[in-house]
């Protein structure tokens, strides 16, 4: 791959759309601020780290990414991966995780891996996304219920302990704020005329305003918001902890690749004739994470909610994503003191609504109604995501989807004996002779029509089905026009079949080989074994049948002589 293809170019920008991009950038920044604060708090780090991440990742990924509409920053899916490392190694580990993950993403981009994300099955993606939504919702319970539970590796365990703690000692003010914030956001979204103003910002203002009443004096609030982003610095490095850091960074890189490219695909679907470059997108996300690490931030990825707002707000080029970062810098400078008034319960209520809106209910219903295997993969991926972790969920989902795909494809494979058809002209003088040869054909020649791919899931069936029907047969014709592909196991089965038939003195002829199976048979020498210098290889079944009849006549004449 030419590396220059991954670099920014002048065609990325169309300055006639500058006004629309600036307006969209402001809108996205207003949406991004509460989300950046909330996801940082959920991860267990300072809210300032979330805002810094949104600024740096938004600008760098906007400049170098492969989508004109993608907006990057901290996301709920990423918090799920980062919470364990923060619990074990502290917030200071996150910048190094971001740098290592960023370098891995850059390597993926250079290797051209971006295009292969499209091979992830939709049930895996939907189960993964819905599972993340459930986790994000559960993560907000401590904030909304005003309970500080004991730490645990499982989000389910933390949520259970939180509810138990709330029942034992209810915290009314936090619950009222969280519920009110969520209700305002939901009601605002239900009024089409109001959707031009971000619901999350309205909910943030209303919830924070209510919290200034005396009854809410004791609720936990946002702390540690600086007026400027920090100056660049090298992340803290520890040789002893690099194994854990690298393992988490690999998970972060995989998640960032999946989430960013899926978000870019959704953005493409909401626009006209816009298509992202997956490898450039990976490069942009990689560079963004490296930059975030040097600014002391947390790993970032393309954010579907902010990207969707960017598209709906009328963005035309990547200037909107870059400008959203600039606006966040301005907000940080002017409104940082006011941010300390924001209750954590309000942020929790906003993120709960975001989590519910993440659930792809329509896609899930479609998949659940399609096939049992797809429904199983969706539920399995979703369950593993909630109970264990995201990367394991993708691995298990992919393995299950692959296994069920093999089973499904093997059911498409069939091999059936057929009545012979072929020219018999020029060899008979009477109808009696034609009837006599037809009878001989049935006794001595057997043709099999093979449908579907010959691969490891169908190889045994291929071998057994032919052998059990060839008793007393002298010529077997394999009609392979409907075999699009063959793998090494199928090839080995074919070789074993030919050798087994020849030991029974049965001649094998093949017709209609498609390009991929033919190329594979030629490369491995199996074609020479089958075709006997191409004498037993034919373009059509009719040619093979005619040659088989001629072969039998020659054999009869030779025996008679």
Nearest to 358 by CA among 155, 28, 127: 127
Q: Report pLDDT for 436.
A: 46
Model confidence, pTM: 0.74
**Spans of all domains in the chain:** 17-357, 413-560
Residue 128: partners with Cβ closer than 8 Å, 6 or more residues away: 258, 381, 382, 385, 390, 393, 394, 397
**Tens digit of pLDDT at every position of the chain (561 positions):** 567 778 888 888 888 888 989 999 998 998 888 889 989 988 889 999 999 999 999 999 999 999 999 999 999 888 888 988 898 888 999 999 999 999 999 999 999 888 777 677 888 888 888 888 898 899 889 999 998 877 766 788 888 999 999 999 888 999 999 999 999 999 998 988 887 788 888 999 999 999 999 999 989 998 878 778 888 888 887 776 788 899 889 989 988 998 898 888 878 877 766 788 999 999 999 999 999 999 999 999 998 878 888 888 888 899 999 999 999 999 888 878 888 899 999 999 998 998 888 887 888 899 899 888 899 999 999 999 888 877 778 788 888 888 888 787 777 778 888 766 544 444 444 444 444 455 556 668 888 888 888 887 666 666 676 777 777 788 888 899 999 988 888 888 888 888 888 888 888 889 999 999 999 888 888 888 776 656 788 988 888 888 888 888 887 776 665
Q: Report pLDDT for 328.
A: 93
22: its two tokens: 């600036």
CATH class, domain 413-560, is alpha beta
The answer to whether the CB of 278 falls within 8 A of the CB of 112 is no
The answer to whether the CB of 34 falls within 8 A of the CB of 338 is no
Q: DSSP 3-state assignment of 359?
A: coil
């Amino acid at each position: 791959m030419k590396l220059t293809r991954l670099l920014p170019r002048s065609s990325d920008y169309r300055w006639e759309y500058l006004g629309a991009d600036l307006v969209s950038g402001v809108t996205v920044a207003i949406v991004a601020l509460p989300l950046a604060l909330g996801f940082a708090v959920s991860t267990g780090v300072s809210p300032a780290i979330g805002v810094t991440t949104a600024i740096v990742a938004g600008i760098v990924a906007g400049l170098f990414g492969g989508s004109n509409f993608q907006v990057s920053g901290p996301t709920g899916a990423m918090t799920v991966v980062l919470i364990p490392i923060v619990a074990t190694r502290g917030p200071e580990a996150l910048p190094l995780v971001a740098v290592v993950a960023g370098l891995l993403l850059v390597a993926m981009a250079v290797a051209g891996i971006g295009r292969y994300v499209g091979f992830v099955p939709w049930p895996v993606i939907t189960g993964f996304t819905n599972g993340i939504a459930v986790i994000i919702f559960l993560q907000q319970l401590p904030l909304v219920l005003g309970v500080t539970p004991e730490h645990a590796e499982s989000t389910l365990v933390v949520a259970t302990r939180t509810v138990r703690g709330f029942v034992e000692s209810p915290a009314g003010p936090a619950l009222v704020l969280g519920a009110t914030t969520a209700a305002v956001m939901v009601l605002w979204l239900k009024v089409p005329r109001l959707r031009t103003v971000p619901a999350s910002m309205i909910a943030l203002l209303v919830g924070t305003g209510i919290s200034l009443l005396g009854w809410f004096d004791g609720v936990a609030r946002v702390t540690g918001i600086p007026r400027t982003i920090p100056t660049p610095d090298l992340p803290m490095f520890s040789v002893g902890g690099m194994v854990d850091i690298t393992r988490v960074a690999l998970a972060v890189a995989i998640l960032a690749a999946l989430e960013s490219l899926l978000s870019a695909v959704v953005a493409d679907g909401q626009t006209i004739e816009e298509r992202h470059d997956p490898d450039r997108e990976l490069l942009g996300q990689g560079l963004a994470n490296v930059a975030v690490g040097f600014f002391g931030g947390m790993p970032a990825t393309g954010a579907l909610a902010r990207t969707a707002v960017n598209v709906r707000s009328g963005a035309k080029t990547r200037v909107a994503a870059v400008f959203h970062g600039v606006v966040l810098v301005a907000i940080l400078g002017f409104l940082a003191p006011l941010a300390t008034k924001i209750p954590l319960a309000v942020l929790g209520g906003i993120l709960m609504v975001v989590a519910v809106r993440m659930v792809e209910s329509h896609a899930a219903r479609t998949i659940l109604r399609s096939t049992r295997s797809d429904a199983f993969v969706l539920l399995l991926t979703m369950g593993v995501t909630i109970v264990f972790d995201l990367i394991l969920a993708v691995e298990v989902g992919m393995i299950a989807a692959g296994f069920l795909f093999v089973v499904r494809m093997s059911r498409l494979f069939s091999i059936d004996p057929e009545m012979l058809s072929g020219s018999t002209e020029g060899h008979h003088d009477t109808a009696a002779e034609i009837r006599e040869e037809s009878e001989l054909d049935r006794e001595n020649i057997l043709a099999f029509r093979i449908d579907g791919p010959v691969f490891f899931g169908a190889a045994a069936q291929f071998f057994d089905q032919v052998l059990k029907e060839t008793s007393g047969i002298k010529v077997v014709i394999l009609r392979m026009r409907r075999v699009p592909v063959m793998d090494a196991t199928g090839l080995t089965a074919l070789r074993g079949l030919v050798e087994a038939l020849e030991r029974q003195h049965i001649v094998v002829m093949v017709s209609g080989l498609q390009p991929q199976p033919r190329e594979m048979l030629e490369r491995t020498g199996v074609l020479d074994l089958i075709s006997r210098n191409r004498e037993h290889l034919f373009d059509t079944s009719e040619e093979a049948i005619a040659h088989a009849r001629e072969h039998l006549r020659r054999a009869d004449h030779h025996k008679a002589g």
